[in-house]
Amino acid sequence: MSKEFHRLISLEEALAAVLAHRPRPSAATVPLTEALGRVLAVPAISQIEVPGFDRAAMDGYAVRALDTVEAREDRPIRVRLVGAVGMGQSPDVEVAAGCAAEISTGGMMPKGADAVVMVEYAHELGDCVLVSRPAFSGENTISAGSDIGLFEPVLRAHTVLGPREIGVLAALGIEQVPVLNLDVAVASSGNELLSPGSPLKPARVYDINSYTVAASLRELGAAPRHLGIIPDQKDLFVKELRQAADNSDMVIVSGSTSAGRGDVLYEAIAELGQLLFHGINLKPGKPTVFGLIGETPVLGLPGYPTSALTVFRLLAAPAVMAALGQSKSSTVLRGRLGRPLRSESRRQMLAVALSRGTVHPVDKGSGSITTLARADGFLDIPPSREYLAEGEEVEVHMLAAAQEPDLVLAGESCPALDRAADSMPGLRLLSEGSRQGLKLVRQGVADVASVTSALPGLDTSGLVPLLAYQRDLGLIFRDRPEGRFVGWPKGSAMADLQEGVFRRLALTGSRQGTARSHGAAAAWVASGRADLAFGSRAAAGGLQFRAETGDRIELLSRSDRLGRACDLIAFLRSLRLPGVAVEPQMPE
């Protein structure tokens, strides 16, 4: 069962191969209302003049400028009002010498007139208009074609269509927009995979990669065709792969990194077309496969979700962007390492989160969904770098658009803080326990730490106390405080408190699982998966609660982040939750 890679190539070689065989987009036409984010296939060359006629640029009176030469405020000249120009209509009046016609902004200039006198300098008097200021020829008018000339190229081919560009196309009268269509078939492969929406079965996991890859393709302006899961059996796999290659401009398959699996794709490409490489000297990304079936490039990504997205960014995104005539496929942001890093002697792409300019690894294991959820991007660590120091400046290749929250709060989980996060869109909560909260605040990743008094000896020196509250902790149950229970993660403050209470009360039910938040603890009971939980009164909701102990939650901030915390403090002061008592103003 050992895995064979014929020759591991470098990332540079791999990228060169994928770019050399990048897909060829076809042209398609979409209605203007669906063109947002698409890529223009051909230059937009104006087939009209904009405006298409001489227009009034102001509300007023269309006149012959020559007639108004003598007009003065104290000696207005008098012209005869011969009619009005209706909006959107060819004028049915003509302005002869000594005449004027009422006109609105955007109205078509009537024959004979060459200027518009603004309302402010005109006064209607019976069938006449008194003009109190001379107008020059062309004043307050916009001449035909002055904005966009006939046959003028207005948007280049390969322009990404945003709201402004869509407006420009509308102005040119273009309702059917020629866009580049890059049809990319996306599939996942693996016998253990199930489609989301179907009931979970033993030993199976939900397919993730076909969804993340399709969404990433859409973000880049390509048109993903979501094939979902294709089966691992060779003959079925070959059949589906051939169909996908025939019907698409590119095929992206992600499979598990395990040996048997990778080989199915590798063998299928070799059988149907030409294998160009199999194996990159890169972590993650070793089992990456690339080849051609007919003219269609086929890329195989590793199976772990963060690995799949990382290799997608490294290889697929540049090829897709080049195919669509775009120059940049990724954003690189700079940040400083929040802790030192050890790397391997292989080139490594390390998943990291980026917060407040501080970079911290999120690699809980590359198969982890938590890693996927937290990874803002990755570091590209060369084989020569085995140690990176804390504070070192690094480049983060972003997987997602950077969304800088207004305030990052890290530490002890609490329903009161959950409420704040639900109400304050700019607040990001990292409920990772008191110790980790303090660490993240010191690293600058978070602005505020929430710390429980139940963990003695925590070092809060140098941090500014913002607010503190007492909360009731106790048993959450449906009928009686006993039976099967849900616990907290080992080593957490809540786990210690729960253990003490359970020992004191001699509670001996069996442990059903682990909750990482008060809400989850209560949900175990509410759902019947457990009879008993330990947590905050505020989380008990409609369940019964018996207070057994309590703790004090203190919020602490770095002094340079105080300003950010004001809204949170105000919110918590006004919050009324059962079993939560905010202490009076903190001492200065």
Closest distance of CB 210 from a second copy, Å: 8
Closest distance of CB 285 from a second copy, Å: 15
Closest distance of CB 194 from a second copy, Å: 8
Query: Is 87 exposed, middle or buried, given 0-12, 13-18 or 19+ CB atoms closer than 10 A?
Result: exposed
Residue with tokens 């590209």: 380
Closest distance of CB 391 from a second copy, Å: 26
Assess 406 for contact with a second copy (CB under 8 A): yes
Site string for a second copy, 342-381 (x = CB under 8 A): ----------------------xx-xxxx-xx-x------
Contact 449, 440 (CB under 8 A): yes
Contact 301, 204 (CB under 8 A): no
Assess 28 for contact with a second copy (CB under 8 A): no
- Judged by beta carbon, residue 16 or residue 400, the one nearer a second copy is 400
Neighbours of 360 (CB within 10 A): 19
Interacting span for a second copy (CB under 8 A) from 253-261, 387-395, 543-551, 573-581: 253-261
Q: How far is CA 411 from CA 328, 418, 438, 574, in A?
A: 37, 12, 7, 21
Closest distance of CB 499 from a second copy, Å: 18
Assess 259 for contact with a second copy (CB under 8 A): yes
DSSP collapsed to 3 states, 450-471:
EEECCCCCCCCCCCEEEEEEEE
Closest distance of CB 463 from a second copy, Å: 25
Alpha-carbon distance of 533 to 488, in angstroms, equals 9
Assess 205 for contact with a second copy (CB under 8 A): yes
- Judged by beta carbon, residue 128 or residue 400, the one nearer a second copy is 400
Q: Considering only residues 181, 254, 257, 452, which one is a binding residue for a second copy as defined by CB under 8 A?
A: 257
- Judged by beta carbon, residue 214 or residue 493, the one nearer a second copy is 214
Assess 254 for contact with a second copy (CB under 8 A): no
Residue with tokens 């919110």: 571
- Judged by beta carbon, residue 76 or residue 291, the one nearer a second copy is 76
- Judged by beta carbon, residue 192 or residue 499, the one nearer a second copy is 192
What DSSP assignment string belongs to 574-587? H---TTEEEPS---
Closest distance of CB 291 from a second copy, Å: 24
**What count of Cα atoms within 13 Å lies in the side-chain half-sphere of residue 455?**
21
Contact 459, 518 (CB under 8 A): no
Assess 16 for contact with a second copy (CB under 8 A): no
For the CA atoms of 162, 163, 168, 169, the dihedral, rounded to the nearest 10 degrees, stands at 70
- Judged by beta carbon, residue 293 or residue 414, the one nearer a second copy is 414
Assess 399 for contact with a second copy (CB under 8 A): yes
Neighbours of 278 (CB within 10 A): 24
Contact 14, 288 (CB under 8 A): yes
Assess 59 for contact with a second copy (CB under 8 A): yes
Q: Considering only residues 20, 70, 96, 196, which one is a binding residue for a second copy as defined by CB under 8 A?
A: 196
Assess 403 for contact with a second copy (CB under 8 A): yes
For residue 249, the cross-strand partners are: none
Where in 522-561 is the site for a second copy (CB under 8 A)?
523-524, 527, 529
Assess 419 for contact with a second copy (CB under 8 A): no
Q: Considering only residues 8, 15, 30, 52, which one is a binding residue for a second copy as defined by CB under 8 A?
A: 52
Terminal C-alpha separation, the chain: 66
Closest distance of CB 323 from a second copy, Å: 11
DSSP-assigned letter for residue 563: G
Alpha-carbon distance of 210 to 208, in angstroms, equals 6
Local structure of 27: helix, strand or coil: strand
Packing angle, helices 566-574 and 415-423, rounded to 10: 120
Assess 303 for contact with a second copy (CB under 8 A): yes
Report phi then psi at 319, rounded to 5. Answer: -70, -40
- Judged by beta carbon, residue 191 or residue 274, the one nearer a second copy is 191
Q: Considering only residues 57, 292, 495, 562, which one is a binding residue for a second copy as defined by CB under 8 A?
A: 57
DSSP-assigned letter for residue 424: -
- Judged by beta carbon, residue 33 or residue 274, the one nearer a second copy is 33
Closest distance of CB 32 from a second copy, Å: 6
Q: Is the dihedral of CA 317, 334, 342, 377 positive or negative?
A: negative
**Under 8 Å CB-to-CB from 34, ≥6 apart: which residues?**
none
Assess 203 for contact with a second copy (CB under 8 A): yes
Where in 82-111 is the site for a second copy (CB under 8 A)?
86-91, 102, 104-108
- Judged by beta carbon, residue 91 or residue 300, the one nearer a second copy is 91
Where in 466-505 is the site for a second copy (CB under 8 A)?
none
Closest distance of CB 177 from a second copy, Å: 10
Identity of the residue numbered 417: L
Assess 114 for contact with a second copy (CB under 8 A): no
Number of residues that bind a second copy (CB under 8 A): 135
Contact 578, 538 (CB under 8 A): yes
From the list 235, 229, 289, 236, the residue with the least C-alpha distance to 259 is 289
Where in 120-179 is the site for a second copy (CB under 8 A)?
142, 145, 147-158, 160, 162-176
